[in-house]
Amino acid sequence: MRNKKPNQYSYNNHDTRERKFVNKNFSKTDNYHSNFSETLFQNTSFVGAKFKFCALYGARFENCLIRGALFRGCNLTAAVFKDSIISAAVFERCKLSGCTFENCKIVPTSKLKNLLPDISFPDTDFFDAYPSSEGFNHDLIEIVESLRSCDLIRQSTVLHRKKGMLDTVSLKVLVEEFGEEFLTQELRSLPALINNSFHTLSYINHILRKRKGCDKKGVPGPIAHGAPILTNECLSTD
């Protein structure tokens, strides 16, 4: 989903308590002195987003991409980050009591691990840097590199970072769920299956889960619990 208006999701002194933002793009937005308490952010991108002096008490971030985001002077008490990729984010002078990061992948993020007890990071992996591409099957890396030719995939920044670098953390998430052999076979056809803009890995996950649920004849098989059946309507992230 691409924002229909520039800075559509930038809020200044705004009350957005208990709202739901699903499949939205908060990338490069500026949010000041706004109340997002008990708000749900799901399948949402926060690349380069700024939250300054905002209330995020009890907020939930599920399947989000949080890269280069700034949280300054925010109240994140009891907030939950789940199944999200967090890279180079800054949590500066924030209230983090009771904040948890569940099943997340965290690449160097300003002292975050030192700000909370270990119990706050169930099933979460920390990386000192993005994993080397040499740790993956060579054919798989070549296929992922070739996906740059698809504008929608390249523009999503989900698999490809700036300066020609791969997002190997996202790739690691895919490998953990689907395995390298399956990805090597199925990622080749990914451009033909994507027909609109997207901003988080969950979109690709849903497509691959559907592919995995079909046998060689294309007959649908059991869908993984919680995974949507991708009709044309489901493929839209608007």
Predicted model pTM = 0.85
Backbone angles phi, psi at 82, to 5 degrees: -130, 135
Report the alpha-carbon distance of residue 107 to residue 168 in Å, rounded.
11
Q: Which domains does the chain have, with CATH numbers?
A: 20-126 (2.160.20.80), 133-235 (no CATH)
Under 8 Å between Cβ of 30 and 50: yes
Predicted confidence at residue 8, as pLDDT, reads: 77
Under 8 Å between Cβ of 64 and 45: yes
Predicted confidence at residue 113, as pLDDT, reads: 87
Instruction: Go through 38-57 and write b for each residue having 16 or more CB atoms within 10 A of its CB, e for each that does not.
Output: bbbbbbbbbbebbbbebbbb
Report the alpha-carbon distance of residue 152 to residue 159 in Å, rounded.
11
Predicted confidence at residue 7, as pLDDT, reads: 62
pLDDT tens-digit readout, 165-180: 999 999 999 999 999 9
Under 8 Å between Cβ of 83 and 61: no
Q: What string of H, E and C letters represents the secondary structure of 161-199?
A: CHHHCECHHHHHHHHHHHCHHHHHHHHHHHHHHCCCCCC
Predicted confidence at residue 168, as pLDDT, reads: 96
Residues of the chain with pLDDT under 70: 1-7, 110, 214-238
Predicted confidence at residue 1, as pLDDT, reads: 37
Report the alpha-carbon distance of residue 36 to residue 29 in Å, rounded.
14
CB proximity list for 32: less than 8 A, separation 6 or greater: 11, 12, 13, 52, 53, 54
What count of other Cβ atoms lies within 10 Å of the Cβ of residue 107?
A: 20
